[in-house]
Amino acid sequence: MNCVYCELPEIKERIIIKTEYAFAFPTNIPIVPGHVLVCPNRCISKLDDLSKEEFTGLFDLIFQMKKVLTKTFYANGFNCAWNEGSLAGQNVPHLHFHILPRKENDTGVTEYEPRKFLYRPGSREATQEKELKAIAELIKINL
């Protein structure tokens, strides 16, 4: 398997939206409910490899997801991040942006020191596929 985001059936089944240039789906180890990944359709690892059209299309989808996550999860803040390269913590070599809807008293990472946030201290259990698909369907309602 070359790229789990491109080839894994479970990920394809939980895609929330796919546009001409990008797609979004819930991550399997969310920090908070509604934690989604937004990826370019083309399998590239770095932001620099995007064409201008892909860049615009990717960020259009990121902005759209922020609006729909605000509506779906009553978010009043967001953590948005991406890692480039294995030294920066990129485990899947397909560029992807983490979008985390945040609200008062939510769980997950609550300290915003970058090293603690990016390196995910402690262990988190993987969420069952049934729940991930339900999250995808919930978000789709508000597209």
CA distance 112 to 141: 31
Amino acid letter for position 126: A
Tokens of 57: 């299309």
Strands (E), the chain: 17-18, 22-26, 36-40, 77-81, 97-102
Phi, psi of 102 (to 5 degrees): -120, 145
Measured torsion, CA atoms of residues 74, 30, 24, 139, in degrees rounded to the nearest 10: -40
Catalytic hit among 35, 94, 96, 98:
96
Q: For the beta carbon of residue 37, count every other beta carbon within 10 angstroms.
A: 23
Q: Is 96 a catalytic residue?
A: yes
Question: Which residues carry out catalysis?
Answer: 96
